[in-house]
Amino acid sequence: MPIRLLPQEVSSKIAAGEVIERPASVVKELVENSLDAGAADIRVSVVQGGLDEIRVSDNGSGIAPGQAELAFERFATSKLTDVPDLEAITTLGFRGEALPSIAAVSRVVLVSREAASDEGARVEVDEGQITYSGPEGAGFGTTVTVRRLFANLPARRKFMRSVAAESSRVQTVIARYALAYPAVRFELALDGKTAVSTTGSGVLREVVADVYGPNVGHAMLEIDVDPQSDRPGVRGMISPASISRSNRSHITTFVNGRWVQDRMLTYSIHDAYRGFLMERRFPIAVIDVKADPDEIDVNVHPSKAEIRFRREGPIFSAVQQAARAALVAGSPVQEIGGSPVGEPGAARDDPAPPGPAQPGLAWPVAPLPDESGHAAAPQPAQPPMLPHSTLPALRVLGQVQSTYITAEGPDGIYLIDQHAAHERVLFEKVTSEYLVRGAESQSLIAPQTVQLDPQQRELLEAQRELVAGLGFVVEHFGGRAYMIRAVSALLTGTDPGQALTDLLDTMAEGGGFEGWEERAAYSIACHGAIRANQTLTMQEMAELIRQLEACRQPHTCPHGRPTMVHLTSARLEREFGRKA
């Protein structure tokens, strides 16, 4: 076949295919136009998953008289005029492609009126051809109605999933924009039934409650970090460790109000939950990054869902640190019958941390006293952003069921899970002390041989240094056999062969941690920690509490489960009828 220029009706359908993949893409583009037009109220109605009808109405600026037809021309936009504009885009649209693309694959009716004009305009377009254009009386704002979507593209129509699936994608799109624009009132009706409805009050927590339910809305932790000269701002909400989901799809990220799908951003949030969430659990998060528009390139993808950052590092760390700080500050001691964990403000009422820590700064980690009682040198390798969420000084009262330590603090009674608490202590000791300065090891009087399977052997060889750094001295003995001559001093009294194989297995599985060091530390902590059902002396309990007090995150075990519950004095007074 000779090379020929495609007729315009064919080329426009090809181009439309890139932008308009399914009904939800139509909704996305129309809602973005409404937002760009400054609308405060956006109503969306979708019939049969959008294949029968999609309608988006707004109370935005409207289109000037005589311009409505132009909006359907390819590359016709009011949002940018020259190349420098393209370098710093502040609107959601800019390509001038959405309306012509939608119109190429459906039948569109647009009615629009500027507030200043006394008459509106109506334009009808059928598969790219304008079939009607004329004045029409209308309220101000814009209404776009799309019917017969993909009617002329049977191949594309075949790709549509069920009505329920397409409807749910539309709902996801609206929920996303509602979260990004709390000050805009959104309403979505699916086949006449209200599926999303927000008030436009401007309060993000309310929108989160509308989308995820009141309990989640109530528990979410707030993030509000202003941009600085070299750092982007980060705003939004993240779930406390007590709320999680089984996949990443509830991590919603925006950059300058534009919804984006970006692995780095999603990862930066998930990364902040290290040690707070179990493996393969993910938070709910809604984050808007305020970045300098010329630090990002939004023009990389036809549906504008991907962007490029000129420098990823500062964005990653700003988001990760903001989320981590909110999470740590928002993981207060669990209170018996009191407010839910992570209630906003709860952690901020904590007494000020003693020592050098100051809110809002990079927190120096309080030196951990060593065995002799001398304060250890400050640890250099700590992530600097962790606030030190302290425990008040506690006085041990006794042990319950050989499993929980009871203690008294300045505001009531604490019940401490001895295993979880010791796990936390050992975990921090390994990560902040042993892996930094080297571990103490305990030589075995009788070296022990252990059989390793191929996966364990491979890991041992690959992570020799790390394993040695933890205090293990292991030699190959021939075949599958290895000889253990020494183990980490934290594991004294445990079975050395079991400790080594557990270490290698936990490292292989991940145990919920990304890094090798943390995986290893977790294994040691879990293995070396005091068990439940183990009787402790008062002195042992006091020592454990003292070590817990020195931890950076004393309130949770390495996996985010609580180490303690708190029965406040107020609660006691209420329970005993001393106070209403």
Query: Is the Cβ of residue 98 or residue 188 nearer to Mg ion in the bound state?
Result: 98
Q: How far is the CB of 296 from ligand ADP (least distance, A)?
A: 17
Q: Is residue 61 part of the contact set for ligand ADP (CB under 6 A)?
A: yes
Q: How far is the CB of 302 from ligand ADP (least distance, A)?
A: 11
Measured between alpha carbons, how far is 111 from 94 in angstroms, rounded to an integer? 21
Residue list 82-121, contact with ligand ADP (CB under 6 A): 93-99
Q: Is residue 33 part of the contact set for ligand ADP (CB under 6 A)?
A: yes
- Contacts by residues 165-169 (CB-CB < 8 Å, ≥ 24 positions apart): 165/49, 166/22, 166/23, 166/24, 166/49, 166/50, 166/51, 167/46, 167/49, 167/50, 167/191, 167/195, 169/22, 169/23, 169/24
Alpha carbon dihedral 19, 187, 184, 314, in 10-degree steps, equals -50
Question: Near Mg ion by CB under 5 A, which window of 95-103, 118-126, 231-239, 253-261?
Answer: 95-103
Tokens found for residue 357: 């820590």
CB 90 within 8 A of CB 293: yes
Helix, strand, coil fractions of the chain, as percent rounded to 5 = 35, 25, 40
Task: Pick the closest to residue 390 from 553, 557, 562 (CA basis).
Answer: 553
Question: Near ligand ADP by CB under 6 A, which window of 20-28, 29-37, 207-215, 478-486?
Answer: 29-37
Question: Which does residue 94 touch among ligand ADP, Mg ion, none (CB within 5 to 8 A, set by kind)?
Answer: ligand ADP
Query: Is the Cβ of residue 108 or residue 405 nearer to ligand ADP in the bound state?
Result: 108
Question: Near Mg ion by CB under 5 A, which window of 93-101, 139-147, 213-221, 263-271?
Answer: 93-101
Tokens found for residue 345: 């403000």
Phi, psi for 478 (deg, rounded to 5): 115, 135
Contacts of 71 (CB under 8 A, 6+ apart): 63, 99, 110, 123
Residue list 183-212, contact with ligand ADP (CB under 6 A): none
CB 268 within 8 A of CB 322: no
Question: Which does residue 78 touch among Mg ion, ligand ADP, none (CB within 5 to 8 A, set by kind)?
Answer: ligand ADP
User: SS3 of 199, please?
Assistant: coil
Question: Which does residue 342 touch among ligand ADP, Mg ion, none (CB within 5 to 8 A, set by kind)?
Answer: none
The one among 27, 80, 98, 221 contacting Mg ion by CB under 5 A: 98
Question: Which does residue 96 touch among ligand ADP, Mg ion, none (CB within 5 to 8 A, set by kind)?
Answer: ligand ADP
Q: Is residue 37 part of the contact set for ligand ADP (CB under 6 A)?
A: yes
Q: How many degrees, rounded to 5, is the angle at CA 101 between CA 98 and CA 107?
A: 110
Query: Is the Cβ of residue 99 or residue 521 nearer to Mg ion in the bound state?
Result: 99
CB 333 within 8 A of CB 564: yes
Measured between alpha carbons, how far is 56 from 31 in angstroms, rounded to an integer? 7
The binding track of 131-160 with respect to ligand ADP, each residue x by CB under 6 A or -, is: -----------x------------------
Q: How far is the CB of 171 from ligand ADP (least distance, A)?
A: 20
Query: Is the Cβ of residue 38 or residue 356 nearer to ligand ADP in the bound state?
Result: 38
Question: Which does residue 60 touch among Mg ion, ligand ADP, none (CB within 5 to 8 A, set by kind)?
Answer: ligand ADP
The one among 25, 33, 244, 379 contacting Mg ion by CB under 5 A: 33
Query: Is the Cβ of residue 98 or residue 241 nearer to Mg ion in the bound state?
Result: 98
CB 42 within 8 A of CB 57: yes
In Å, the largest CA–CA distance within the chain is: 96
Q: How far is the CB of 28 from Mg ion (least distance, A)?
A: 9
Query: Is the Cβ of residue 63 or residue 289 nearer to ligand ADP in the bound state?
Result: 63
Query: Is the Cβ of residue 85 or residue 440 nearer to ligand ADP in the bound state?
Result: 85
Q: How many helices (H) and strands (E) does the chain have?
A: 18, 23
User: SS3 of 18, please?
Assistant: helix
- Phi/psi region, residue 489 (left: phi>0; alpha: psi -120 to 50; beta: rest), is alpha
Residue list 62-81, contact with ligand ADP (CB under 6 A): 62-63, 71, 76-79
The number of residues that bind ligand ADP (CB under 6 A) is: 22
The one among 13, 19, 25, 34 contacting ligand ADP by CB under 6 A: 34
Query: Is the Cβ of residue 98 or residue 544 nearer to Mg ion in the bound state?
Result: 98
The one among 27, 54, 58, 338 contacting ligand ADP by CB under 6 A: 58
- Phi/psi region, residue 278 (left: phi>0; alpha: psi -120 to 50; beta: rest), is beta
Query: Is the Cβ of residue 113 or residue 566 nearer to ligand ADP in the bound state?
Result: 113
The residues that touch Mg ion, with contacts defined as CB under 5 A, are 33, 93, 98
The residues that touch ligand ADP, with contacts defined as CB under 6 A, are 29, 33-34, 37, 58, 60-63, 71, 76-79, 93-99, 142
